[in-house]
A and B are shown apart, each in its own frame.
Chain A
């Protein structure tokens, strides 16, 4: 692990046009998605409902953090091409503030339901499973598409990540069915989790300038194009789980613009505090 060399970005970065930075920004979003969900899943470590699930979530979290590391490394290369100054994966993870993280809001939500406070003792496994299921159902489609990205580094990462995403989707779908088509209590909690989380998926499919520019350059794939396939997977599994998809709403979260929910700063405080307490430290 290299010590932090340059935690802050070059001032050049803010002056560059979107046409030049879109690819880098797009890769960074994917990295933030993976890191933040990895962080959330890791919260179950030592607290899983059964031992096998404790291990499962730790492994899923490890996969996600591994993907985040590869993506941050690629983002660092792209940033160096833009400004001549590279940032390390640790710089991105530990030394950026809340407004700079570009993950979807869905992924930073705590494991509680709609009445979430900040108490970490209130973890609902149904929320965990539903969120993992919704995310991996999309990432299976997105990684498949990105395997053909014009950015060779991103394409290589996508070709690896798809294999892991398939196992994550399988885990999430299995548990969605078990919980949905389970007891009265598990069914009720899973339905509540689905009602709570599904609106957050709208953000994933709404196009924005970064994605559009990166797609025009052949680097990204518009997630809107993947929505029908994602919808089919979700509908099929939800039906098998004897759950009901809530009606569509106009709610769109804004995490990918750096405007996060009230939960993000607490997550970052926990995740970043050790590194910030010992700047430049390494193993």
Chain B
């Protein structure tokens, strides 16, 4: 078992490789010297390092996401790697989610605190940007936990369909033969101020997807028809997006047309 624990999808970086190589090298050197004490010491050091990294992995697996405390940073794929650096310090590799995610600083602090409390010795945190974090890295357990918490887990990025038509708040009133391409003011409903027909979420305007001329399944803001977001409360697939931006940057706001409950949808990224 290598001293470096890497998740699938993570390209092995040079640090990880050099750790494995240096361990092997120290083995070979000690053996060549024929110095049994050095060789035993090297073996013990290697085993210690492995144990320490494994323990760190277990400790960090329990570090929750600050925003969604039911999932851990490992579940979300934020925690990428746990290794022993050349100077003996634990090196924790994390990757940020959204560019502006404000939770990353807190996650780094939580990692440090967890490692200190477990007395796991000197540590350092390295943030890598590449390969770019993707919601595809969220584990199956993480998805189950999200769903149980009331957040619909993200569709696989590859499964995303083409964007659907935008929801119109003001139904088009078209004369026969009017294709809607003209700018003639006569074709437009003069209701006054923008948004006067109702805010997003008001069932009157938003619910009228039929009147908007959009297809039934299509509907609202950036809805991806093939995402098939299932309601985490009642399990119905009859859901509609209300806004592409929800309580945090990573989530969209949806509503279930069956049970009428709103819920967050973790956006594919």
Q: Which residues of A contact B (CB under 8 A)?
A: 49-53, 55-56, 58-60, 62-67, 69-70, 125-126, 152-153, 155-157, 159-161, 163-164, 167, 170-171, 173-175, 177-179, 181-187, 189, 239, 242-244
Contacts and interface: CB of A to CB of B under 8 A. Distances in A.
B153 to A, nearest CB: 17
Contacts of B200: 50-53
Interface string B229-269: 00000000000001111111100010000000000000101
Interface residues of B, number: 48
B1 interface: no
B40 interface: no
Given A125-B194, A183-B170, A67 B199 contact: no
Contact of B166 (A53, A157, A178): A178
Interface stretch (B3-11, B76-84, B179-187): B179-187
A183 B193 CA distance: 8
- Most-contacted residue by chain B among A59, A64, A159 (CB, 10 A): A59
Contacts of A179: 194
B51 interface: no
7 contacts: A50-B200, A52-B200, A69-B100, A182-B168, A184-B188, A185-B194, A187-B183
Contact of B130 (A59, A156, A183, A185): A156
A243 B183 CA distance: 7
B264 to A, nearest CB: 12
A156 B194 contact: no
A244 B99 CA distance: 35
A239 B100 contact: no
Contact of A163 (B132, B192, B243): B132
A232 B23 CA distance: 56
A184 B243 contact: no
Contacts of B245: 52, 55-56, 58-60, 171
Nearest to B220: A174
